Amino acid sequence: MELRVETVTQKRLDYDQGVLEEKIRNRSAKLGVIGLGYVGLPLAIAMAEKGFRVTGIDIDGAKVESFNAGISYVLDVPNESLCSMVVSGVMRATQSFAAVESLDTISICVPTPLRKTKDPDLSYIKAAVEAVHNHLRPGKLIVLESTTYPGTTREIVLPILERTGLKAGRDFFLAYSPERVDPGNKSFTSSNIPKVVGGVTARCTELATLLYQQFVERIVAVSSPETAEMVKLLENTFRSVNIALANEMARMCGKLHINVWEVIEAAKTKPFGFMPFYPGPGLGGHCLPVDSYYLTWKARMNGFEPRLIELAAVINNQMPGFMVDRIADALNKRKKSLNGSRILALGIAYKSDVNDTRESAALEVVRLLMEGGANVSYSDPYVAKVDIDGKILASAGLTPRLLQSMDCVVILTDHSVFDYAMIAADSPLVLDCRHSLKDFSGPNILSF
């Protein structure tokens, strides 16, 4: 009798798995995205464009309201794309996690910041997973996309979901698939960036792969969620370490009176064995300044000292201070002190042509300049205002008159809409941290 009950139960579970697979294939599955930021919103759009009905969930009421009004707050998502999906009824957003009950798949795209101690802060992931747990039913697929350390999916997410009594790989399905978006990149989007997928069981991997195959051109299935989690950290740590090398080379070339930009341009003509990376005022964004700390924390917890990775973080974190020293030195040579000088920061976003200021090195440069007594203003067409240690600064319109009124102009973010000819011509002194004025020359233009 006991054997028969187990057999009947197994047949029911096999049938449930088949139902989910068929719903994904015929695109009748209802998809959900938790976290409607720079990752979640483009993902939701990619899903809806392929015929799925998508529900976005976010605790930020302003985002939900903007989403449902068809007004995009992410530069990579045009208002027209979002509005058409909302008006047609294939997309909606809500603050209520009760919506999870009616969904077949849930992609979790919430932030994973650092604590002040530089340790991982998984509070957003845990809160999202707890909310899913409260509404979990058999037959659902949950995919974590937030960048995190290896082991998070199996060690943190899985136990919370299995507290329901349901079993992953049998009653519900769990996988990890790291987000790989590059804000501002027009060539690579959520649809054509290859998607890495690793499930806690083979069946979980199969179903997650099937889901993403519906709206992503290429899927790369790996053996486990730990592998998929490590893939993302390797990608961004690779960039962090190489940017640190570029930053150190820039400072070294400065000491040797060599143009580092010319060195890099010449080196990248080698058709093999070299990939160009470029110096700047420091790392920024939601990944690069954070991800290496997730990796080094996990390594130390397992008795390994990742010295190269930690040193790269130290070098990159020194760059805002180095830039401020460079500005102070340039002013000093013109018989001016940093204290009391009028300085204009061009660009406050963490990279060109985005409105994202998370972990922006430009913010740290401005903060240090203000700390040194400078009278700082900024101009950024994508960021209307910023809060620097409680002081609100508003973006100024970039004009010849504004440039001419400054003691120093510093290019921190190389937005393509800036008029660099005007900047070169009308700035009494300009420090170019991004090689934006490569086509201009003059005694007023300084680089590294």
- Strand-pair partners of 432: 411
Return the H-helix or E-strand segment holding 375: strand 375-379
Whether 259-446 and 2-230 are alike in CATH topology: the answer is: yes
Query: What is the 8-class DSSP label of residue 223?
Result: S
**What residues have CB less than 8 Å from 61, skipping those under 6 apart?**
95
Tell me which residues are annotated as active site: 287
> Can you give the pLDDT at residue 3?
37
Query: What is the 8-class DSSP label of residue 156?
Result: I
Place of tokens 């974190």: 317
Query: What is the 8-class DSSP label of residue 100?
Result: G
**What residues have CB less than 8 Å from 131, skipping those under 6 apart?**
34, 97, 100
**What residues have CB less than 8 Å from 86, skipping those under 6 apart?**
67, 68, 69, 70, 92
CA pair distance 106, 20, nearest whole angstrom: 13
> Can you give the pLDDT at residue 9?
46
Give residue-wise pLDDT tens across range 158-207.
999 999 999 999 999 999 999 998 888 889 988 899 999 999 999 999 99
> Can you give the pLDDT at residue 116?
86
> Can you give the pLDDT at residue 6?
37
Give residue-wise pLDDT tens across range 19-41.
999 999 999 999 999 999 999 99
> Can you give the pLDDT at residue 289?
84
CA pair distance 173, 212, nearest whole angstrom: 14
Residue ranges for the chain with pLDDT beneath 70: 1-17
- Cα first-last separation, the chain: 79
In contact, 225 and 200? CB cutoff 8 Å: yes
Half-sphere exposure of 134 (CA within 13 A, CB side): 10
In contact, 63 and 74? CB cutoff 8 Å: no
CA pair distance 363, 347, nearest whole angstrom: 9
Strand arrangement of the beta sheet that strand 342-346 belongs to: 375-379, 342-346, 408-411, 430-432, 445-446
In contact, 177 and 193? CB cutoff 8 Å: no
Residue spans per domain, the chain: 2-230, 259-446
CATH classification number, 2-230, choose in 1.10.1740.10, 1.10.3720.10, 3.40.50.720, 3.40.50.300:
3.40.50.720
Query: What is the 8-class DSSP label of residue 114?
Result: B
> Can you give the pLDDT at residue 2?
37
CA pair distance 306, 296, nearest whole angstrom: 6
**Quick one: how far is CA 39 from the chain centroid?**
7
Fold of 259-446: Rossmann fold (3.40.50)
> Can you give the pLDDT at residue 448?
78
- 296-to-86, 123, 241 alpha-carbon distances in Å: 42, 19, 13
Position 394, amino acid: A
